[in-house]
Every structure is written in C-alpha cells, then in structure tokens.
Structure 1
C-alpha cells in the first residue's frame, strides 16, 4: 500500500525524534561518564581489592589453623610418648595462639599437667581463665568451669558453687551429672535437702551418665527420702514433688 504524504511526514518526524532522543541519551551518558566514570572505576577496583583481600585473609586463617592443629597433634604425641618437657613447650606456644579452639585445648592440657604435678593454684587459675574466655568454644569453657568448680568445691561457700554451676546443673546439659551432683551436695551443706533430693533423683534416672555416678545419686536420693523408682521419667518429678530444674534454680521457678 502506498503511503500518503501525511503518513510519510509522520514516519519522517518519528524517525527524527528517535535520532534526537538517541543523541540526547548518548550525550547524557557521555556527560555522566565524564563526571563520574573515574569514581565508578575506583569504586569497582576497591571492591575487587577488598574481595580479593577477604579471600586471601580466609586462606591465611585456614593455613594458620592447619599449622596450629598440626603443632597441637605433635605436642600430644610427645606427651603420650612420655616426653613431657617437649610436649609442654609446644603446648605453651599454642596456648598463646590466636586460634581460640586450639588455644583453649592447650591451656586445659597444661592445667591438667599442673594439677597432676601438684601445682593446684596454677592449674585453677588457668581453668578460670579458659572459663572466662568469651572467644573460646563453649564446650571448653564449660569443661574449664567444671574443673575449677571441682577443685575449689571444698573451699568455697556452697551458694557460690550453686550460682557458678547454675547454667550446667540442669537435665539435658552435657555436664549435668557433675554439675548437678556438686549443686545437690551444696544444697545439703546449706540444710536444703528438699532441693538436693530431686537433683540426685534426676541424676539417677539419666541413662547416659556413668553407672557409678547414677548409683551414688540413687543412694543419696534414697537417703533424702526420695524413691527414684517412682520418679516420672517424662516430667522429671519425684514422688515427693519438685524437680531437678526447680532445685537447680534454687526453688525460685514459678
């Protein structure tokens, strides 16, 4: 179909407008690039450099952790071989490392060696240090807390032991057996047998705990008038009432 003059003119005008629009856009882009292109390039380079630096730092940390891990294994092997002097020397270096996990393990091993050699005060200071190290893995902090609580059990007021072990003296926590037993005995020292009994009863029913600990707890619970056979395994309530969790909280649970 032939285009009329009017149609031809409209098509020509439309093409012209597109060319003008493209020219304006090109001009705007060129102007924008002239003004901001340098800064965009710098930002891009900085971003790539930061990303590259992050990858490098992750690789450095991984390599450092691997190196520290190898040194820790070698130190333990020297201890196992009876070469305590060399093993302690290696562990002492690792105990100053910025690798929190290996640092805590090295400190705990050194503290154990000190305790074995009779340096109780030195060992307890290290246990307390690990327990307070917020960068150390929680499992090592809890282990250190149990160790220092055990070492200082006879010298501290019972209430301080209860307060110190409160987070661990609850059923379901990995250290409930040890922490619960010390907590229950502390309550007995304070004349609070009604709070000690349920904890002993709960320890006696924990099948994942050592049998020697469970038997001891069963005897203690029985001496306090609680028949562990009547303990409800689901609710954790003893026949005399109350629960291990309530007792661990000092009888303040509502």
Structure 2
C-alpha cells in the first residue's frame, strides 16, 4: 500500500516535469537562439582579435622599417614612411611616428618643426599618457636652447614631482633653462633635487653636477663665455719637453670614457743627450800623466 509521503512525492515530481515541459515549449526556441548567438559572438570576437593583432603586427613592421632607415642615415626616406604611418597607422603607431619625425627634425637642427611635432603628441588626448609625457620632455629640451624658462615650465614642470617617473629629465630641463636665464636660485633648486636623489640616472647625474657647480659658483652662460674670451692662450710647451713618440688616443670613445692605460714605450720621456767629447789638448801641451 502506497504511503502518503510516497504519493505526494510522485505528484510533486509530475508537477515539476509538467512545468519544465511547459517552459521549454514556451521558451525553448529562444534558449536555442541565445545559445547559437553566444557561439557566433565568441567566434566573431576571436576573429576580430586576430584581425587586430595582424594589423598591429603589420603596423609594427612598417614602423621598424622606417626607424631602420633613420638609423642608416636615410632621413628623407624615413620621413616619407613615418609620415604615411602618422596619417593612416594603427593603434599608437601614428603618435610614435610623429615623435620619431620630430626627433629627426631635431637632429637636423630644425627646432621649430621638432617642437611642433612634440607638442602635437603632448596635446593629443587620444595618445597614451606615457607618450604625451615623453613628448613634453622632448619639447622641454628643445626649448632649453630655443625658448624661455616659462616655455620650459609650461611643458615639463608638472612632471618634476617626486611621484613622476620622468622627474629626473624634467628637473634637468628646468635647471638648465633656469641657469641659462640667469636665475641661479631656481637652477640650484631643481638640480639639487637630482643631485640628492640616489636613483638619478648616471648620465643626468653627471650633467647635473657640472651645471650645479657652475650655478653655485655664480657662473652664468654669459659670464662663462666672457671668461673664456678673455682668458690668455696657453703657452706652447718647449720642444725639448715634448715626447718623441706620440701617446695614442682613442678618438672614437665617447666623452667620459677612460683613456687607454698602456701608452707607447717611453712616451713622454725625452731622449738622453749624447755625451759630449772631451776637449782636445792644445799643441805642445804635455800629455796627461797616466796612472
């Protein structure tokens, strides 16, 4: 005999099955359509990712080829390819190409064109922040030679804070611009921040020490130029003091590289003078007694 518990369990099971059947009959097609759409969407996303990756690879190859031309001292061909990338490149490559174009102009001495390129990237809201900051630093360095201290401040002062990754270059640009403007206190403030930071890159640290020493001595570019113009020319060394064998110098080494430790044999040591012969005795003089 069936118990009440068994009876109610079977009735509940039939009711659940009927509800599932009714739901499937009502929404089954929609569920199948949603599943098919999900599969299609996943496939489309994968295909789109592959397409984007292929475009990025092609753009990277174009940019690398253009940079190689610039490194091979072919600026005209490099500029032509970089300008094409800047016009129709993919992703961040147009901004990278614009930066490279500005760098070529700076190398060629066209400060105006270089500054326009750097400022264009620095003010491009679509460019990544890292590229905008680099462009601002490069513009600041150009303006150290061609602009005013206020021009340099407008580009790089926001990047000189302790939390900024480009603070060392920003402080150097500000210090150089202040020193050139004769504002020695400002120059010392920016340069001392680099000198006192043990993480300052070596190249910037070396340049900082040189300019900071001049600023602390009260020397400006004008006074340094005046002192160089009025300084007497160094007298040439006597001929007898010059070495017979020249000391070899490696002129291909960059400034600051150590000189060769091994000089030519006897370099800098004048040859010994030959021993003078004894004077001849006058005619008729007695000969020197022999021992």
Tell me the residue number matched to 1:202. 193
1:144 matched to 2:127? The reply is no
Pair 83,104 (structure 1): closer, same or farther in 2 beyond 3 Å: same
C-alpha separation in 1, matches of 2:68 and 2:177 = 39
C-alpha separation in 2, matches of 1:218 and 1:188 = 9
Deviations 1:118-155 (A, max 9, x none): 44333222111111233434333222112222333466
Name whichever of 56-65 and 112-121 sits farther off.
Answer: 112-121
Name whichever of 189-198 and 176-185 sits farther off.
Answer: 189-198
Tell me the residue number matched to 1:215. 209
**Shift of residue 204, structure 1, vs aligned partner:** 2.5
Gapped regions of structure 2 (runs ≥ 5):
219-291
Higher Cα Rg, which structure: 2
Tell me the residue number matched to 1:165. 156
**Shift of residue 29, structure 1, vs aligned partner:** 0.8
Tell me the residue number matched to 2:272. none
Tell me the residue number matched to 1:28. 19
Partner secondary structure for residue 158 of structure 2 = coil
The structure with the largest helix share of the pair is: 1
Pair 135,40 (structure 1): closer, same or farther in 2 beyond 3 Å: same
C-alpha separation in 2, matches of 1:197 and 1:85 = 41
Q: Is the 8 A contact 1:149 1:161 kept in 2?
A: yes
**Shift of residue 196, structure 1, vs aligned partner:** 3.9
C-alpha separation in 1, matches of 2:40 and 2:85 = 32
TM-score by length of 2: 0.62
**Shift of residue 186, structure 1, vs aligned partner:** 5.4
Tell me how large the CA RMSD over aligned residues is.
Answer: 3.0
Alignment of 1:1-16 (within 5 A): 8-10=1-3, 13-16=4-7
Deviations 1:208-252 (A, max 9, x none): 24154122243145236xxxxxxxxxxxxxxxxxxxxxxxxxxxx
Gapped regions of structure 1 (runs ≥ 5):
1-7, 225-254
Deviations 1:145-196 (A, max 9, x none): 1222233346655345324322322346443333213334556688875554
Name whichever of 182-191 and 105-114 sits farther off.
Answer: 182-191
C-alpha separation in 1, matches of 2:64 and 2:90 = 17
2:101 to 95, 110, 124: 110
C-alpha separation in 1, matches of 2:169 and 2:28 = 66
Tell me the residue number matched to 1:99. 91
